[in-house]
Amino acid sequence: MADINALASQFVNFYYETFDSNRSNLQGLYRDNSMLTFEGAPVQGAAAITEKLVSLPFQRVQHKITTIDVQPSGPNNSLIVTVSGLLVVDDSQNPLMFFQTFQLISENNSYYVLNDIFRLNYG
């Protein structure tokens, strides 16, 4: 099995760089059976997830990753990846803390996101 830490890091870097530059380009990471729970609201399917992400109420965003943790999940080299960090939206001086969990499913020498859970951390 490949180094799961390197795989998780590569996925996280790609995901957030794409999110920060053009959220609509994330659609290829999801499938029709994929589910996103964003701040407690569930959305299913690649098109619906992309629509949700594109419709978020900010123009610019920058993710600053603090931690990445990964564990193998299931028999087919699937992964659970957790990410914590800071969000800077529309050049705000007050970054928001966030936590996100992905379940990545191995498919044709690549991975897709089956489950995606996102929460802002208020404190």
C-alpha dihedral, 16 to 22 to 23 to 24, nearest 10°: -140
- Give residue-wise pLDDT tens across range 54-99: 999 998 999 999 999 999 998 788 999 999 999 999 978 899 999 9
Domain enclosing residue 33, as ranges: 1-120
Tokens 């978020």 correspond to what residue? Answer: 56
CATH number of the domain that 84 lies in? 3.10.450.50
- Distance CA(107)–CA(78), nearest Å, equals 9
What confidence score (pLDDT) does residue 91 get? Answer: 78
What confidence score (pLDDT) does residue 12 get? Answer: 98
What confidence score (pLDDT) does residue 76 get? Answer: 82
- Give residue-wise pLDDT tens across range 12-35: 999 999 999 999 999 999 999 999
